[in-house]
Amino acid sequence: MRPPAEPRRPPPLLLVLVSNFVLSFGKETLQTTAVTPQFQKNMDYVDFIYLNILEKKVLNNSEVSVQYLCSKPCIVSLEAVASSEFRTGVPVYRRRWKDEKNLYVTRTRQVHLKFPSIMVYRDDYIIRNSIIVHSVILYAWISHRSASNYGEEQNEDYQAAVAKNYTFLEAVPPFERPYKDHKVCLQWGADYLWMLQANRIPQCPHETDGVQVLEFIYASSGEKTGIVKKFEQFENRELETVRQHQIDYPMFTISIWLYLLHHCEKDLCGILYFIDSKEMYGTPAVFLNEEGYVHIQMHLMRGDDLAVKTSFSLPLKQWFRLDLSFKGGQIEVSSVGKNLKRHHHQSFTFREDFYYDDTAGYFVLGGSGYVNGIEAFFGPVRYYRLNVLETEQISNPLHDKDTVEQIELYYERCMDIQDIVHDYRYIVRQGEKTHRSCYYENYYLELIHKYGEKSKCDAFMWGKELREKYHTLFKLLQKMDFSSPDDGSDTVVEVGRRIFEKVVKGLSSANGLSNLGSSVPLLVDSSCCGYHKASYFLAVIFETGLGVPVDRIKGLLYSLVGAQGNERLSVMNLGYKHYQGINNYPLDLELSYAYYSNIAIKTSLDQHNIKGEQAFVETIRLMDDELLKAQTKENGDVFMWLKHEATRGNAAAQQRLAQMLFWGQQGVAKNPEAAIEWYAKGAIETEDPVLIYDYAIVLFKGQGVKKNIKLALELMKKAAAKGLPQAVNGLGWYYHNFKRDYKKAAKHWLIAEELGNPDASYNLGVLYLDGIYPGVPGRNQTVAARYFYKAAQGGHIEGTLRCSLYYITGNMEDFPRDPEKAVIWAKHIAEKNGYLGHVIRKALNAYLELSWHEALLHYILAAETGIEVSQSNLAHICEERPDLARKYLATDCVWRYYNFSVSQVNAPSFAYLKMGDFYYYGYQNQSRDLELSMRMYAQAALEGDSQGFFNLALVMEEGNSIPSYILDHLEIDQALHSSNTSLLQELYYRCWNNSNQESISPCSLALLYFYMRVLWNNVLHSTLIYFMGTFLLSILVAFAVQSFQSLSGNDSEDSTRAVQQDEPTLSNDLSQQESNPQSPLGTS
């Protein structure tokens, strides 16, 4: 009930243009000192000191020769300062000595350097963590100091030194250092363990700071959705150390390709920005303003924010690259063309450094819940996390040159078309105004204008070349009526809509698909006019080869154009293709989420809008005869029967009838006004709590009826008193929205939540998110997220949206980042969109009316958005009408869409069985794949389909074995069913168990036959059968011998009689055969 509250917005973007900048000299810390260690000779000054090292490496006992001269009593100091990956300027060696006697005499002293073991030795059993040394500087200086000053700090001595010098020592990598002889004896076990891992050099993960944030083109429609990217810490220890050091002194570069269509219509539109863990803007935040200038905001180390604005604006309708580099307090901004030549460049410098931790939050390309995105196409985006690069050093090429050029050509052509439409309408309207002034004086001319042929422009002001290029458009414009008064709609878009409706009407006719080739130019004109339903039609036509040859580039072009124009089906098409990684679209979950979340948000808003071509999305399969019979229309038997029962006062019939009319369900056209009449009738007459609640809701919101808060509240209380959970939630919604009484609202929502109402769970989450829950100070996002998750589990749309956002950002502790889960949840909501439901309903109605061309067209449109039920239904139509599929589709319809279907998380079992059969027998050009076939059968079995188990058993009967991972997937214990007989028994038993056990099924017969075979085999292979066989054979032999002896004794007496008896028998047999020549075996 309660729409989601606005999330806490980041701080307002700073609109200050910093103009007077002072050059920053870099990072100033207490640990670094600016020094100039250069020895400058002075002829009047005789003191000097030199260092001489034979091997300038960091080694123990390295010998250094120090040559010096003192003019006064002096102190000679020697100090080594090291910098590692963790610390800088750390003294690791010190040595001092006095020289008071040898004045004006050159002295040489040999010094042996000693360093900490972790700097000069490898890791071993005792030295566990040797450090990586970046640099070592050996300083030497002379001070004219007395003995009393001997203990002063070395920094002061060096600065006041009368002579000084230094040299660099080369650090030795850890795995090139020797092992240290510790002079200890390890225990045998410890020594053995160490020997096992000695001399092993660990390999650092191959990792670079350059990240390709986006590779494929992204169509940004200017909505509050975009691509969310999150970066983790580096696995490579060195890179991670550098990253942490640069948190307060950022050094990074971002390169973004853009094709900008419009400047920002509002204050600021998002290009790329960082949202921290507290949901606040961080560094960097790059936006576009209304004038096309780039607005850049940074978060400073001291906690506040600072923003600047470029002095150059970004170009429209041409590809360019925006490069931004950040170094400490300095920003470089450049605009580069397709030829990689710099167009604009500007620098900004600040005294303060920025705070930057790219792992403590997430990046957004485009829009988000806080700001709208730009209206543009994003090309490749490259991010260098640790380096500042010049324009020439950046490697971020514009890859897909064909699509890039097609986008440019499309918008060039569309500019011409839009100009023609606008000018044509203006000329016609001006001519009408001229004629209309005469109509008021001539009644006859007024009647001609009112009822005669409408005005058109025959005298073209356009050149011949342009008329020939757009001849179909001019011919169509001449047939259009421009005499209707302005209704505030965009004229060019309205012309596009008329062109599109004319084309669709032709395509939906009996043989409409045969006209597809000639319809493509008109659809292109409609798309150029900004009516992007035509763009999606073109995308599907070229991707599937519907009536035209397949053209992947044009299919991608019109998909991107339609998505950028906010056409819902185009957006879903791109979301689906990137989710599955099919049709040459790369698998990119973040990009898929950007598209799906756009439509998911619209789905929530569309459900509150009763206008528009929307219908309830229903799962109706063409193979389900019962569901097909239940489909009806306003004059159908089901609807008329419901109407009859509703008129008689049947509450259930009134409720169902109102739902069908309000949402456009079960084949009934959407009619909110008629639905409200039934809601009102049922609420007043039947006292049904559901009808009372539904009527109260439409009165509260004024949907199709005038608002009546007083009556709505009475009805809501009445329904709540009857114990209806959603009515109790509705009372809480009333106290929250109309009375701002959060205590009463929370009270009612807690009661409703206990009754299992998901709306109440969501509303309680909003109270915690907004920080207005009674008795709880401040916001509590953690508790709010738990309530949202509970609401999502109950099917709540807004709750599901919130959870999908948590999964994509990973900013909530209870929701670890999971882009795939985020996509699945957003996809689930997007597929409930009413405009998509309208297309599916048109396809189903056309199928029921046997309008095959229209059904095929609309099912393809729905199937390409990733709707599983439309994919399996389309495959069914192609099986039912293969002639139609072969004639109009360049792709194999049955294979393509059953394959798409089984890739979905909610695929039906019959689709798995179909694909299993295709793999088993080999479908047309597809080769036979027995293993894939068994995987499909197993998946059908897991869906509870007995046929899946039956097919697996038949595959085994043919002598094939089922792979072990498939048996594990079916949860069949291979230890218990090691033999084929045992496994077959298990499969046939599960087949019978998942079938209808009350009637004789193929599974029950198969199981019975299996048991009979097992019994017969057991009998044949038993010892008893051999004993019985031998006994019976002995009896038969004895009987045969006895019979032979009795017959041979009477042979001479009966021989004559036998001959006499045989002759009539033979003659009788012959006569019987002749009497029935068609039954020669009749006597046998």
Q: Which residue has the higher pLDDT, 470 or 335?
A: 335
Distances, alpha carbon 145 to alpha carbons 104, 150, 158, 364, in Å: 16, 7, 12, 62
Rounded mean pLDDT of the chain? 82
- pLDDT over threshold 50, residue 1070: no
**In angstroms, how far is the first alpha carbon of the chain from the final one?**
86
The pLDDT score that the predictor gives to residue 14 is 41
* pLDDT band at residue 612 using 50, 70 and 90 as cut-offs: confident
User: Alpha carbon of 358 to those of 10, 274, 438: distances in Å?
Assistant: 17, 8, 71
pLDDT at residue number 202: 61
Token code pair at residue 352: 């303060």
Average pLDDT over residues 150-156: 50
Q: What is the pLDDT of residue 151?
A: 52
Model confidence at 239, pLDDT cuts 50, 70, 90, reads: confident
What is the DSSP track for 65-91?
A: EEEEEBSSSEEEEEEEEEEESS-SSEE
**pLDDT on residue 1044:** 58
**How many CB atoms lie under 10 A from the CB of residue 48?**
19
- Convert the pLDDT of each residue in 475-503 to its tens digit: 777 777 666 655 545 788 888 998 999 99
Q: Which residues, other chains included, contact 603 with Cβ-Cβ below 8 Å and sequence gap of 6+?
A: 797, 829, 830, 832, 833, 834
The pLDDT of residue 1076 is above 50: no
Query: What pLDDT score was predicted for residue 1066?
Result: 29
DSSP code of residue 326: E
CA 899 to CA 493: how far, in whole Å? 37
pLDDT at 208: 87
Give percent of the chain with pLDDT exceeding 70: 83
Find the mean pLDDT for residues 295-320. Answer: 92
Distance CA 636, CA 632 (A): 5
Q: pLDDT class for 253, splitting at 50, 70, 90? A: very high
755 pLDDT more than 70:
yes
Which pLDDT belongs to residue 213? 95
Lowest mean pLDDT among 485-489, 701-705, 940-944: 485-489
More reliable by pLDDT, 201 or 629: 629
Placement of tokens 């243009």 in the chain: 17
- Of the pLDDT bands very low, low, confident and very high (cuts 50, 70, 90), residue 643 is confident
Q: What is the pLDDT of residue 11?
A: 43
User: In this model, does residue 2 exceed pLDDT 60?
Assistant: no
Question: Which pLDDT band, with edges at 50, 70 and 90, does 1084 fall under?
Answer: very low
- Please tell me the predicted confidence (pLDDT) of residue 482: 65
pLDDT at 732: 93
CB within 8 A of 422, min separation 6: which ones?
A: 491, 492
Tens of pLDDT along 842-861?
Answer: 999 899 889 999 999 999 99
Closest listed residue to residue 574, CA positions, set 598, 551, 550: 598
Mean pLDDT of 389-406: 91
What per-residue confidence (pLDDT) applies to 298? 92
Cβ atoms 682, 654 nearer than 8 A: yes
Q: Which residue carries 């098409």 as its tokens? A: 573
The mean pLDDT value for 982-998 works out to 82
Strand partners, 135: 83
In angstroms, the CA 58 to CA 55 distance is 9
Helix (H, G, I), strand (E, B), or coil: what is residue 617? Answer: coil
For residue 227, pLDDT beyond 50: yes
pLDDT top residue among 351 and 538? 538
Strands (E) in 786-834, as ranges, are none
In this predicted structure, what is the pLDDT of residue 449? 53
The runs of H, that is alpha helices, within 548-624 are 552-564, 568-580, 589-606
What is the rounded distance in angstroms from the CA atom of residue 763 to the CA atom of residue 529? 42
pLDDT at 874 over 60: yes
What average pLDDT score do residues 293-321 get? 92
**What pLDDT, on the 0 to 100 scale, is given for residue 13?**
41
Q: What's the whole-number mean pLDDT along residues 87-110? A: 89
pLDDT of residue 641: 80
| Inter-CA distances, 857 with 514, 544, 571, 879, 1060, Å | 12, 11, 19, 15, 88
Query: How many CA within 13 A on the CB side of residue 387?
Result: 15
